[in-house]
Amino acid sequence: MAPEKSPNRTGRGRLAIAALVVVALVGVGAFAIGRLSAPVVSAPSTLSVEAGFARDMQVHHDQAVELSFIIRDLTDADDVRTLAYDIARTQSQQSGQMYGWLTEWNLPQAEAEPSMTWMTRPPLTGTSAHDHDPTSSAHTPGEPMPGLATAEQIAELKTLTGVAAEKDFLTLMIAHHKGGVEMAEALLERSTDRVETDFARGIVKAQTSEIDLMENMLAERN
């Protein structure tokens, strides 16, 4: 009987359309949830302070390693040679950590903007305020990193030997460490990344105590 079949057919049709709509909505919804929730867990971007720190601090650390090997060839003084060995091993390992983060974040090792640009970005609100004059940490993008020895200073160190070389090394490395602490503090004021802030706190602590040690070693030689 035709009049009875017709409502049945439209009923099934409606059910099929409703099922399709539900499937489409669930599919789209699931896709949207996956897609939109992805950035929340994503790694730091190439212009982030985390990436900027990881790139610049590698350069900074690598020079500390270079200076440490230079002084080990220029002096027989055990205390300076031990300190230099400590710095070289520590900072090589830390440089490798920073290299690994960038690799893990799928970012180029090459900086995306001039060095130190990340330090010119405003600090996060609510981070521990430091006592130093805010203008003293104002940097210009592209300028040398704080505490980095110039090529001329490294060339001059290589011409020295013995106590003269030790004093020159200690002077350069005290400035180098102070610059490293400044960079680590700049990161702490601008990042909440757990791994990187733990790392930076370690640098502030260890290098601050090494600055005291080196100032004492320098005083003994004056």
Binding site residues, another protein, CB under 8 A: 14, 17, 21, 24-25, 28, 31-32, 35-36, 45-46, 58-59, 62, 65-66, 69-70, 95-96, 99, 103, 106-112, 115, 151
Task: Find the shortest distance in angstroms from Cβ 194 to another protein.
Answer: 23
Q: Which amino acid is at 171?
A: T
Distance, in Å, from the CA atom of 109 to the CA atom of 106, rounded to the nearest integer, reads 9
> Helix, strand or coil for residue 198?
helix
CB hemisphere CA count around 18 (13 angstroms): 6
89 with 175: CB under 8 angstroms?
Answer: no
Nearer residue to another protein within complex by CB, 129 or 151: 151
Identify which of residues 160 and 204 has a Cβ nearer to another protein in the complex. Answer: 160
Nearest CB to another protein, comparing residues 28 and 124? 28
* Smallest distance, another protein to C-beta of residue 66, A: 5
Nearer to another protein, 97 or 127 (CB): 97
Diameter over CA atoms, the chain: 115
Give me the least distance between CB of 169 and another protein, in Å please: 15
Q: For the chain, where are the alpha helices, taking DSSP H only?
A: 2-37, 49-74, 78-104, 151-158, 162-188, 194-220
Which residue number, 96 or 202, has a Cβ lying nearer to another protein? Answer: 96
Q: Measured from the CB of residue 21, what is the shortest distance to another protein in angstroms?
A: 5
Q: For another protein, give the closer residue by CB, 26 or 124.
A: 26
> What is the nearest approach in angstroms of another protein to the Cβ of residue 119?
16
**Closest distance of CB 139 from another protein, Å:** 16
Calculate Rg over the CA atoms of the chain: 28
Here the tokens at position 84 are 């230099």
DSSP type of residue 40: G
**What single-letter DSSP state applies at residue 134?**
G
